[in-house]
Amino acid sequence: MRKLNLLILIALLLPVATFAQAPAAGANAGKVAVMDFQKAVTENSDGKKAQEKFTGELNKRQAEFESKQKAMTDAQTKLQTGGIALNDTAKADLSKQIDKLNTDLQRMNDDAQKELGDLQQQLFRPIAEKVQDAVKSYSTENGFAVVFDLSSQANSIIHWSDVADITTEIIRRIDANATKAPAAAAPAAATPRPAAPPAQK
């Protein structure tokens, strides 16, 4: 059975294979690190929620597609095996039904490509931007001149040390910042100060 053709890659959200930083002064100048940018986007707490939502919508579209695919297959089987049991009018009606189902399937596939692509952008782009900010700040703090993205299709790195991989640290920072956000907003919800007493005459 033909599957829904969805060529959507999270790696295309922010097409940045290399994060260049201003060279740090001193002994650590020019240090290089690597990371899996796609993993950092999808495996932090917000990324996991976004992935779950996206997968749910993808599975829903797939089920609808397969249901219509089955209806077309059944109609094709009926037309092929009907033989003399079907008159010319019935055969013509079945042929029209098959053509319509085939057109509907193509439209569903095209719509899914666009709408799921839009949904992915909506869900993952803000997270990808947070990851990019975290990489920049972490690189500045630790003197990394360049950070290479291992998930990029353009990646040509053939060897790296595990200590050079900062993916886990970036995910930890994203999650830490996410837990800090509600706490930082709490003081704003504090009870208002009582009004100053009126000046005595």
Q: What is the extent of the structural domain holding 67? A: 10-179
**Residue 184, domain member (yes or no):** no
Q: By the 8 A CB rule, do 159 and 48 touch?
A: no
pLDDT at site 191: 43
Residue 37 resides in a domain: yes
Q: In the chain, how many domains are there?
A: 1
Residue ranges of the chain with pLDDT lower than 70?
1-30, 83, 153-155, 158, 181-201
Collapsed DSSP state (helix, strand, coil) of residue 148: strand
Contact call for residues 127 and 177 (beta carbons, < 8 A): no
pLDDT of 16 reads: 41
Residue 194 belongs to some domain of the structure: no
Instruction: Specify if 191 maps to a domain.
Output: no
In a domain, 199, yes or no: no
In a domain, 193, yes or no: no
| 3-state helix, strand and coil shares in percent for the chain, rounded to the nearest 5 | 65, 5, 30
